Chain A
Amino acid sequence: MALTCKELWSEVSNYIDGSVSAEIRDEIERHLAQCRHCTALIDGVHNVVVLVADGRTFELPTGFSERLRERLKLEVQHGSL
Chain B
Amino acid sequence: MMVNTTQGEMDESLLEKKTGVIDNDIEHTEWIEYYLSGELVHRSAHITLKEPAVALSALGGF
A and B are partners in one complex rather than unrelated chains: no
Binding site for B on A (CB under 8 A): none
| Chain B residues near A (Cβ < 8 Å) | none
